[in-house]
Amino acid sequence: MTEQPTPAHLKADMPQIPGVGGPGPKRVGRNPMLPLIVALAVVGVVLLLAVHWLSRSKPAEGPREEQTAQIEVPPPPPDPATALPHATEANPAIADVAALSKPWSSLDFFVRNRLTGENIPATIIRLPMGSPAVPGGYWAFSRKAPFGSCELEYIADLNKLRTEYEYKSANHPLVGNPCTHTLYDPLKTTTIPPDNAWTRGAIVQGSDLRPPLGVEIKIQGKQILAIRSE
């Protein structure tokens, strides 16, 4: 004999055992795109932070660049030689007579060599004798040594003459060659070959062959003119 199914309202309820839960709700399936979405969101946040940081750091560099651009390089010191008188054919004046009024006073200048066109460094000395109104009261010479490449120097420091040049009997300024330690006396004259012409600056010490090359001087009113070099 076939059993008939029991109606639902007549079924006995399952007993509830303490500590054991009944069947729970069904879990919804996990979205497989969720990790990718999270990763893209993190990358986007990182990019936004990087752009924000760069936008804030660039203005900070601007003032440093402007500050660097504002630093001025100081110009080179002026060449003292450019301030010296340059005697030319058109304007041979090198000084006023009053500028060399004291005995043994001196002045550096340049005189043009007419043959080579070179500006030659020279010095004029006010001698302790003779009138300042006549050329004989001065001695002008080229500081370019007649032989070699050294430049002569006018030495008014007697102690330098006695120590560096070892000229113990120095009692007035002399002209010296720092390369050979030859000394020339502005107060003494000598002759030079081939025509035995008289020239100032006789050698009192050293082995140089002749005195410095002279510069012709003229006095015109209150001005001293350097005409030409020897």
Secondary structure (3-state) at 12:
coil
Name the DSSP letter for residue 214. Answer: B
The domain segmentation of the chain, as residue ranges, is 83-229
> pLDDT tens digit string along 148-180?
889 999 999 999 999 999 999 999 999 999 999
Single pTM value for the model: 0.66
Spatial distance between the Cα atoms of 9 and 58, rounded to a whole number of angstroms: 79
Spatial distance between the Cα atoms of 158 and 70, rounded to a whole number of angstroms: 50
Please, which residues have CB within 8 angstroms of residue 143's CB and are 6 or more apart in sequence?
A: 108, 120, 121, 122, 123, 151, 152, 153, 212
CATH architecture of the domain formed by 83-229: 3-layer Sandwich (2.102)
CB atoms within 10 A of CB 218: 13
> pLDDT tens digit string along 38-90?
777 777 777 777 777 777 765 444 555 555 556 777 776 656 667 899 999 89
> pLDDT tens digit string along 107-117?
999 999 888 88
* Contact criterion met (CB below 8 Å) for 194 and 200: no
Spatial distance between the Cα atoms of 16 and 22, rounded to a whole number of angstroms: 8
